[in-house]
Amino acid sequence: MKTTKRIAIIGATSSIAEHCARIWAQQGSVELILVGRDQKKLEVVNADLLVRAPNTKTEMVVTDFIDPTTIQKMVNDLFAVGPIDIALIAHGTLPEQQDCQNDLALNYNTLEINGISPVLYAEAFAQHIAKLNQGSIAIIGSVAGDRGRKSNYVYGAAKGLVTRYTQGLQHRFAGTSVSVTLIKPGPTNTPMTAGIKGSEKFASAEEVAKTITSGIESKKATIYAPAKWQIIMMVIRHLPSLIFNKMNI
């Protein structure tokens, strides 16, 4: 009988993903597959996990996040070893909106790494998980994907793509033993948001990770982290344009 839970974390060097890994490592018999683009950063995360939970089995995979052929092969290789119980897709970037407006190459890259890449990874995992009819796919989107706002509409558009895609994936797997979770963090105090004014008041990555891991365990369809953002974004989504367009957000 299988007792070790295999968890693949795409973008394992992100602060939120790293804190999720710490929680899972301390929960018992798990194998953590840490996937990233930077070998040195992965090694730092891996070493930290082994200090915190010496009995945890870990594997590091350095790969490309954009090329479809590479993504497909990497996921195929993971399942060739055995089933993946949880796939957490957590990678992304957060450039300045003004920079995206002025640089079409950056605009393109922002849409690609925050929108297209997570979708490709999720679809690659879904191919295998559908055959097994078991497992969980969790994709980190953002509250920014709930409504386009002038402060971050390029990033928000990418996360809007993730939202619509995940909803479709949930519809596809409805009535099966496969769970699909859309994660929508609000502003979180991480290295990615360090340059944003007031970031010290944002939710901590540890707090957000606790909400995420417990939500995945409960097979929630959508996780707002912290939970208050579900109410905040519901209000923002339903504001009439006449009012919304006067707001500086």
Rounded to an integer, the average pLDDT of 203-226 is 96
Residue ranges of domains in the chain, CATH in brackets: 5-244 (3.40.50.720)
DSSP the chain: ---SEEEEEETTTSHHHHHHHHHHHTSSSEEEEEEES-HHHHHHHHHHHHHH-TT-EEEEEE--SS-HHHHHHHHHHHHHH---SEEEE-------HHHHHH-HHHHHHHHIIIIIHHHHHHHHHHHHHHHHT-EEEEEE--GGGSS--TTSHHHHHHHHHHHHHHHHHHHHTTTSSEEEEEEEE-SEESGGGTTSTTGGGSEEHHHHHHHHHHHHHTT-SEEEESTHHHHHHHHHHHS-HHHHTTS--
**pLDDT (tens digit, 9 = 90+) per residue, 73-126?**
999 999 999 999 999 999 999 999 999 999 999 999 999 999 999 999 999 999
**37-46: average pLDDT:** 97
Using a pLDDT cut of 90, give the percent of the chain over it: 90
Tens of pLDDT, residues 146-172: 999 999 999 999 999 999 999 999 999
Whether the per-residue pLDDT at 1 is higher than 70: the answer is no
Q: Alpha-carbon distance 46 to 134, whole Å? A: 27
Mean pLDDT (the chain, rounded)? 95
- Phi and psi torsions of 175, nearest 5°: 85, 5
Q: What confidence tens digit (pLDDT) does each residue in 172-206 have?
A: 999 999 999 999 999 888 777 766 766 667 889 99
Task: Give the C-alpha separation, 247 to 150, whole Å.
Answer: 10
Q: If we measure between CA atoms, which residue out of 148, 171, 85, 162 comes closest to residue 117?
A: 162
Sheet holding 30-36: strands in order across?
57-62, 30-36, 5-10, 86-89, 135-140, 178-185, 222-225
Mean pLDDT (whole number) for 140-144: 97
Give me the count of residues in the chain. Answer: 249
